[in-house]
Chains A and B, each alone.
Chain A
Amino acid sequence: MTHASHDTDAGRFGSFGGCFVPEVLRPALEEIAEAWERYGDDADFREELAHYGRTYVGRPTPLFEATNLTEHLGGARIFVKLEGLAHTGAHKINNALGQALLAKRMGKTRVIAETGAGQHGVATATAAAALGLECEVFMGAVDARRQVPNRFWMECMGATVRQVHEGTATLKDAVNAAMRHWTERIEDTHYLLGSALGPHPYPTMVRTFQAVIGRELREQLAERGVDRPHTIVACVGGGSNAIGVFHEFVGDADVRLVGVEAGGRGTGRGDNAVRMSGDGRPGIVQAYRSLFLLDDDGQVLPTHSVSAGLDYPGIGPELAHLGTTGRIDFASATDDETLAAVRLLAQKEGILPALESAHAVAHATKLAPDLTHDDALVVNLSGRGDKDLFIMAEALDRDAWRAFLRDELARMDADDEANA
């Protein structure tokens, strides 16, 4: 059997990647791949995106030297890339704007997206509002419950948020629901996938939109007299912030790249989302081949993380490949280590990291003491922590937080009665 007409290498990273969609979606993916090929390198398109980056997103995002944390830990010079200062509070906007602009050029009037923590959903709702596109976001019911603020903001910007109750009602089920919905509306709808995973060309396209992080980082380090960082650390759910900051440095063999996965409650099955440094195995799930948390029959296992954005059983195919070849190292941080890292960074530097990004901080605190002051250790802080107020306050200041919520509700009820 030969299929000579097909480019079988398209979208492959070693054996990972590919485009495992039902036949009904294959033409839609081909359409995106063609548009991407046409506009990805188009000067006009790139300038339009860069313009939004400068005037709307706030690029370049700052690179901050965390001198207090450096002094506290003793060892490496720690730098923090503040993607959380990008508009909407996370790196997700880089990709959302890129794809929304591409969708417009493709003649689409509507975008749909999946979201876990809500950051990608907010970024998509934002890009859609700014560019005049209709927007619908699929969110697992469990995530919608723990990320109420983001759900609220998405609706505020005119997006429809559809809660997904199937399966584990988290990010992976939101992806399934978005893809199913897309099969009904491929004509006018672009699926604005939020991470560097899924079917080709998403892994390549999303990585390219996020690679701006690494490019800026190299320039900003050079301005501080740092030729090359010793180590770059980034958290990894699907992995778009990680591949975005790593991509620029993959060719610099002496730069150590470390992805940090969600260690969750511990090493038990279903207690974490550790694929690369844990039990991930090769699979074909959600239309791409990569490493996933699976049982012996290939069923996708439930995951857990305190951060909705890392609570996902798969990893982008390029990261899986670079991890398998040994170019990227992987580690994990537990929920508890992560919460401690939020507090540490907040107290030492006045920076509130998103729970996702705090996984990278937690691991960096382990690496820094073993390095010297000549070594630059960069933490990609993919997002800021405002969205996590409800989780953080419950975890760190439970009694006072609950008292506040009870009092606030009582006050509102009393107001209602007074006005009735």
Chain B
Amino acid sequence: MTPPPNEQAPNEPARASTERPADRLRAKLAERGATGLMAHLVAGFPNRAATIDAARAIEAAGADVLELQFPFSDPLADGPVVLQACQDALDAGTDHAAFLGMLEEITRSIRIPTVVMTYANVPFVRGFASFARELAAAGATGLIVPDLPHTEPEFAEFRAALGDAGLSYVPVVAPTSTPKTIAELAEVADTFLYVVVRLGVTGRASTIDDAVRTRLAEISAITPHPLAAGFGIQSGEQVRSLAGHARLAVVGSKIVTTIREHADAPGPAVESLVRSLVGD
């Protein structure tokens, strides 16, 4: 079911001579046996040093992918914890240049791939093509934008810009997505799909039960791409209960909360948390 690591996704022109950022992400997912971890950070929360410290701790603890959020003032899909962290990061001066600087330093100092997450207005105002080029130059491998649906005319330009920059596009699948939509999202994906396991926004705990596992199996039957399962995952037990159903578990609010509690030097606390989530 899983494409081999170096297979070109349908939307990307073949560029055999150089490794594209998306290829690194795909290779990393392919080497994963059990359910791995995508750990989420809000860039600049509470400051640059803490973000870089936490990113290093996340790698040291054995996570597979770092998801770095470019804070936006009006984050529609996020719950109170991430929302407040975004506000704090913006208040602390996390602008475009500061974000790119953090991204560059992080991707230079860790080996696991970094996927950027933000809201549509951030790349839209910058210009999709420039934004994608800047992210790729700063070492990102992919982008998640929850409020730029594949059904809007702007999406085509956005998706092409990511392809041109060699970045992966990671679509979000919701509990409300129909099989037809999932197939459409799979068509525009090139590494993995981010599956939201329950209704609502980020933060509130979810139960990983048979219904969730059945849903993941249904989605896997539609797409050959691996799945990341997220929203409300807070324990190693939850991560392990996704075994065989999702290649990655996504943990966000729990990490952000830990950083808030250890704002001065979040490294050790984040490392210990992520270690407990990874389970080895």
Query: Residues on A close to B: CB < 8 A?
Result: 1, 3, 6, 8, 18-28, 166-167, 172, 176, 179-180, 183-186, 281-287, 289, 292, 294, 296-300
Contacts and interface: CB of A to CB of B under 8 A. Distances in A.
Contact of A183 (B84, B155, B171, B201): B201
Interface stretch (B13-21, B104-112, B141-149): B141-149
A294 B125 contact: yes
Residue of B74, B155, B172 with highest tally of chain A CB at under 10 A: B74
Contact of B73 (A180, A287, A300): A300
A285 B125 CA distance: 11
B159 interface: yes
B152 interface: yes
Contact of A298 (B87, B122, B160): B122
Interface in B42-95: 72-80, 83-84, 87, 90, 95
Contacts of B196: 23-24
B159 A287 contact: no
Contacts of A281: 125
Interface of B: 11, 72-80, 83-84, 87, 90, 95-96, 120-122, 124-126, 146-156, 159-160, 171-178, 181, 184-185, 187-188, 196, 199-201
27 contacts: A1-B159, A6-B151, A8-B152, A8-B153, A22-B77, A22-B146, A22-B174, A23-B172, A23-B174, A23-B185, A25-B176, A26-B149, A26-B176, A27-B176, A176-B76, A180-B201, A183-B199, A183-B200, A184-B199, A186-B176, A186-B199, A283-B124, A294-B125, A297-B122, A298-B72, A298-B121, A298-B124
A379 to B, nearest CB: 33
A342 B242 CA distance: 62
A19 B173 contact: no
B126 A298 contact: yes
B76 A284 contact: no
Contacts of B172: 22-23
A284 B11 contact: no
A297 B151 CA distance: 25
Contact of B149 (A1, A19, A167, A184): A19
Nearest to B98: A297
Contacts of B175: 24
Contacts of A297: 95-96, 122, 125-126
A24 B87 contact: no
B74 A300 contact: yes
B96 A20 contact: no
Given A22-B147, A284-B148, A296-B125, 7 more contacts: A8-B153, A18-B154, A180-B201, A186-B199, A282-B124, A298-B72, A300-B73
A20 B172 CA distance: 13
B19 to A, nearest CB: 24
A23 B76 contact: no
Contacts of A282: 124-125
Nearest to A20: B147
Contacts of A8: 151-153
Contacts of B181: 23, 26
Contacts of A176: 74-76
A20 B149 contact: yes
B87 A167 contact: yes
A281 B80 CA distance: 28
A166 B84 contact: yes
A183 B172 CA distance: 14
B74 A21 contact: no
Contacts of B150: 3
A198 to B, nearest CB: 11
Given A24-B176, A24-B196, A296 B124 contact: no
Nearest to B200: A184
Nearest to B96: A297
B88 to A, nearest CB: 11
A269 to B, nearest CB: 14
Nearest to B124: A284
A185 B72 CA distance: 24
A283 B77 contact: no
B164 to A, nearest CB: 13
Contacts of B185: 23
